[in-house]
């Protein structure tokens, strides 16, 4: 099953795979790769130490979970920027153009609502953790240094979603495509 957009929702750049975005997707790709590499190094180092000394690094789980969440949000941002987010193209490709456009609107609205809520509540949680000086059980680090990334990365995803909405829905209407 192909993940390319239907012809009515494609731009010329989609066909070449080089659609222009103002902020390069390479930024998210680099952050995701760095997070994956860090998870690998932390986990591999922990396995080696555990095997050779029967001891374990205490921080590995704490950092690995944080890095996995970070990588997920960065990947979601990259997916929306490059129009590779999850969708059901089998059904979308068989719909009339007007219904496809409506599905794009519903997708953008639902995604915007969801990440707006994550941004809002993530900011509230981060502020509460900072205000009350909550620390992590494993390392004793301030928890807000982990949770502050939820609102930051949610804002990045929202910017990508809104940019994608502009590029796919509004700009073609203005330009008469």
pLDDT for residue 92: 81
Instruction: Determine the pLDDT at residue 14.
Output: 44
What's the CA gap between 95 and 92, in Å, rounded? Answer: 5
DSSP string, 15-65: HHT----SS-THHHHHHHHHHHHHHHHHHHHHHHHHHHHS---SSHHHHHH
158-169 residue pLDDT tens: 999 988 888 777
83-108, pLDDT tens digit by residue?
A: 787 777 788 888 898 898 888 889 88
> Given this model, what pLDDT does residue 70 score?
95
Element (H, E) at 114: helix 97-132
Dist. CA 132–CA 76, nearest whole Å: 31
Q: Where are the domains of the chain?
A: 22-175
pLDDT of residue 2: 47
Q: How many helices (H) and strands (E) does the chain have?
A: 8, 0
Residues 32 and 133: their CA atoms lie apart, in Å, by 29
List the chain residues with pLDDT less than 50.
Answer: 1-3, 8-18
């Amino acid at each position: 099953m192909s993940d390319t957009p239907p012809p009515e929702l494609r731009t010329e750049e989609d066909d070449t795979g080089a659609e222009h975005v103002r902020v390069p997707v390479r930024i998210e790709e680099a952050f995701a790769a760095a997070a994956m590499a860090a998870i690998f190094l932390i986990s591999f180092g922990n396995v080696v130490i555990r095997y050779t000394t029967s001891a374990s690094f205490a921080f590995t789980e704490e950092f690995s979970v944080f890095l996995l969440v970070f990588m997920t949000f960065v990947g979601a941002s990259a997916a929306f920027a490059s129009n590779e987010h999850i969708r059901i193209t089998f059904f979308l490709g068989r719909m009339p153009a007007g219904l496809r456009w409506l599905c794009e609107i519903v997708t953008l609205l639902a995604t915007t609502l969801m990440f707006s809520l994550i941004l809002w509540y993530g900011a509230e949680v981060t502020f509460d953790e900072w205000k009350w000086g909550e620390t992590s059980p494993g390392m004793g680090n301030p928890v807000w240094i982990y949770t502050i990334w939820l609102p930051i990365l949610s804002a990045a995803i929202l910017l990508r979603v809104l940019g994608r909405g502009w590029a796919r829905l509004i700009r073609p209407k203005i330009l008469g495509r």
